[in-house]
Amino acid sequence: MAGNWCRVQGIALRQGTNTKNIWVAMVDGEDAFYGRLTDRSLAGELLTTEEGLRILQDEKLELLLLLQAAYRVRAHHFGRRVRVQVLNNVQNGYCPEDCHYCAQSVQSEAAITRYRIKGEEEILAEAERAWQAGMYRYCMVLSGRGPNAGRVEQMADLVRRIKSRCSIEVCLSAGFIDRKMAAVLKEAGLDRYNHNLNTAEGHYGAICRTHTYQDRLATLQAARAEGLQVCSGLIVGMGESDADIVTVANHLRTLQARSIPVNFYMYIPGSPLGDVAHGLTPERCLRILCLFRFLNPDAEIRAAGGRELHLRSLAALALYPANGLFSAGYLNVAGQSTAEVQQMIQDAGFEVETVEEAE
């Protein structure tokens, strides 16, 4: 049997130098699949497509053992620390894109409050509140296809002003940008640029027609080329296949995404895609988070939009594969308050990480 395994009362255990590190790797009749996942991920090896699909599909795999295997990878890179991020919906609605999942889509009939852009002092005050509440990252989100040069300069100035007041990482999500825009934002001190892939290239035409997967990819490549860290993830539950999920997880690894929000589709009445996420059980959501941890071992994996809706009473278990959470909602959908998120983290035996601690 590969590795240092021993059999105790019918259960296979893997031995570490400290008894606290001895963990259950498989039960009688199971193979060493859990241990192989951990070892290969820690070694930086890619999983095969078949192994990724097994994580998502094999009902014989024990969820708690899968979570424990993913946790060993997460703990190696991040310990028990959790990065909490807050979204500021700086500009809402009036978007010309037809992304079928989005309440702000040009085709959406969702009852949302539309506004062009918040005042700068309001944006700065919200950043300070996030910092004072112990948030790790403050993300400004603007609706629309992408900013013009003037808007980029405005956001760059806001980044400078936030950084002068707060020890907090700043992320911007503003749609399509080119390298010149990315350079302006980088010079201002922006830490990360967010632009989600959302789904696999082969499924993209089913969720959007006004732009392509390659358009999104070009923005991520522009950001990376100018030295910005990439924040990019997906939305599961939109009719994609399991193979699509594995493909996106692998592509984000290739892009060296340092922050990966794993969103679980939430239907807002009036959104074009409709109420389609019927297969997102708590267990499936946790398996997806484990998959992303194994395939992106040292990236910040965030249990993002839809966590409260789909994980329900198992939400705290997301902390075993994921080391990041959102608090206080998701643009047009309410979520757990900051106090509730911090309490859940504490109750589960984890701790909130601040930028000062990370440094």
CA distance to 4, 83, 292, 313, per residue, from 350 (Å): 29, 11, 20, 17
- 48's CB contacts (< 8 A; 6+ apart) are none
Whose CA is closest to 297, among 107, 72, 113? 72
Instruction: Tell how many helices (H) and how many strands (E) occur in the chain.
Output: 12, 13
Q: Which helix (H) or strand (E) holds 103?
A: none
Tens-place pLDDT, residues 277-321? 889 999 999 999 999 999 999 999 999 999 999 999 999 999 999
Kindly give the interhelix angle for 282-295 and 49-57, rounded to the nearest 10 degrees.
160
Q: What is the pTM of this model?
A: 0.90
CATH 3.20.20.70 applies to domain 80-353 = yes
End-to-end C-alpha distance for the chain, whole angstroms: 41
38, two tokens: 């951990």
Q: Which residues pair with 13 in a beta bridge?
A: 6, 24
Domain boundaries, the chain: 5-77, 80-353
Whose CA is closest to 124, among 81, 84, 159? 159
Tens-place pLDDT, residues 102-127? 998 898 888 888 889 999 999 999 99
* Confidence at residue 15, expressed as pLDDT on a 0 to 100 scale: 42
Evaluate the CA torsion angle 164, 227, 93, 330 in order and state its sign: negative
Kindly give the interhelix angle for 282-295 and 242-254, rounded to the nearest 10 degrees.
30
Residues 262/240, Cβ–Cβ less than 8 Å: no
* Confidence at residue 231, expressed as pLDDT on a 0 to 100 scale: 98
Rg (CA), the chain: 20
* Confidence at residue 108, expressed as pLDDT on a 0 to 100 scale: 85
Residue ranges of the chain with per-residue pLDDT less than 50: 1-29
- 289's CB contacts (< 8 A; 6+ apart) are 70, 262, 301, 303, 318, 321, 322
